[in-house]
Chain A
Amino acid sequence: MVDPSIEILVQDLTVRYDNDIALRVDNLEIRKNEIFGIIGPAGSGKTSFLNAINRMDEFNDSMNVQGSINFGGLEVSRVKNVYALRKKIGVVFPLPVGLPLSIYENVALSPRLSGIKDKIKLDEIVERCLIRAALWEEVKDRLQQLGSLLSGGQQQRLTIARALSQEPKLLLLDEFSIAVDPVTTMRIEDVLKELKEEMTVVLVTNLVQQVRRLSERTAFFLNGELVEVGETEDFFTGTVEDQRTRDYVEGHFG
């Protein structure tokens, strides 16, 4: 029986692409309603970790996931209805992806796919999600414009609004600030702090200062290996166990 305060429990996870091991995690817990940070240099397996949770191996023949990921009491590898699983998981990618639909339809797409047709209800969802993603004020008068023509920062908030329209229990953010200006980054960070009241957030980032601002606990990945997990503050007070973690946080490599 899994501890109810744990949202994700990973055990003996191995992610491979063809025969190359991309990530190995022996044991990792992510608690409910926390912002969990994952840091590490490029190629350390951070994105593979997110893809494994989201069962994206379905779309990549070379990707192979072994071991156990327990999400909300369910073993994700045994979930039959992967679509329902993914609906419970919102994803935000490094580069903002406004779908080539109107702003309105970008946010209404997921509710529509799950069968909501009522216009009033859709309007309500679109407005609520755009407000929570701090985008409503900028786009409320032009909801019919193409979402893919918004600025990068706006598109990234649109992506977050779209993820929220799924009413997820878990929000995965993969280096969301890579193509976003600092002001928008701060606005999104404020949004995330509010969102953790309602969902668990996994924040993958290259910016060590970002996890310091946002997350309670952080994991450090390096070369496909989970080096260590701990309270985020420990990473910055030098009380981490592994020398490699200390070097990375202090900017000696990566």
Chain B
Amino acid sequence: MFGSTQLNRRNHSVQKLVSILFGVVTCLLVVPVLTIMTVLVYKGGPNISFEFLFSAPTNGMTAGGIFPALLGTIWLVVVALIFSVPLGVATAVYLSEYASDTWLTRLINLAIINLAGVPSIVHALFGLGAFVIFAGFGTSILAASLTLGIMTLPVVIVATRESLQAVPPEFRMACWGMGATRWQTIRKVVLPNAMSGILTGVILEVSRTAGETAPIMFTGAAFFLPFLPQGILDQTMAMSLHLFVVSTQVPGVPETLPYSVALVLVSMVLIMNAASIVLRAYVRGQKKW
């Protein structure tokens, strides 16, 4: 009764072949990541020390540490977050909780998607025109962070909107039925339950912001500075640009130095991503419904 025909056997072997083929392709994908990490750790790892992380570059950037760049990247990320998180969350709350489906909201959604697709070098030129020149911030942390903030806004908006929409509509109905206003409902029920998703989005934004080079090149990141930034209107060094500079622009850099800079930068991003994964796992464990 369950004997197999020739067709059965052929289907079976095709299915086996496909599964093996796709498996191999998937494994191949891991190769570049592993190679990058191995090379970085092998070549850049030995050079990394407390000294390297916390001292300034010396000798025309061919020796010394990376502290100004490390600090500068933190500055840029923090100021970008201060700008983009409230704006992005507010936009997402409006789109998800208040706005009805009209041509205007569809246009806004389209704009957000397009904003995500604009190349970073275009954002850089926009930032140069809008913040550095027109707004008069000069090349500064403020101008660079605003540029980064605008560039990563879609990440925050999309992540927030998705986590808001994951909150079951029944909760809103129940809350409205009690005579709560929309805002009371959002504050008491919707936002607290969307917080995990919003945080995940923010962390993803951080890792993206930290790695960007083009948008900050014209707007606030410096080739080399002999001092640390004192405020948001100063220029700063940044990890991503520093990596570019020591790899291509400065003669006489020891071969291992760019690898070390790259390793620190990648580690920053990976730590952020890992934090986001842990956070998500933790929050899933806390699931409230």
Contacts and interface: CB of A to CB of B under 8 A. Distances in A.
Contacts of A166: 178-179
B174 interface: yes
B173 interface: yes
A84 B179 contact: yes
B171 interface: yes
Nearest to A55: B176
Interface string B166-194: 00001111111111110010001100110
A148 interface: yes
Chain B, interface size category, equals 20 to 34
B288 interface: yes
Contact of A83 (B181, B188, B288): B181
A97 B180 contact: no
Interface residues of A, number: 30
Interface in A39-88: 54, 56, 59, 61, 83-87
B188 A100 contact: no
A126 interface: no
B171 A83 contact: no
Nearest to B168: A97
Interface in B92-123: 100-101
B100 A113 contact: no
**Which applies to chain B's interface (DSSP): helix, strand, loop or mixed?**
helix
Interface in A91-132: 91, 93, 95, 97-101, 109-110, 113-114
Contact of B289 (A61, A87, A100, A113): A100
A7 B81 CA distance: 54
A114 B173 CA distance: 18
Nearest to B102: A61
Contact of A100 (B178, B180, B189): B189
A60 to B, nearest CB: 9
Given A100-B193, A100-B288, A113-B184, A86 B177 contact: yes
A109 B173 contact: no
A102 to B, nearest CB: 10
A169 to B, nearest CB: 13
Given A93-B170, A93-B174, A97-B174, A110 B288 contact: no
Interface of A: 54, 56, 59, 61, 83-87, 89-91, 93, 95, 97-101, 109-110, 113-114, 146, 148-149, 159, 162-163, 166
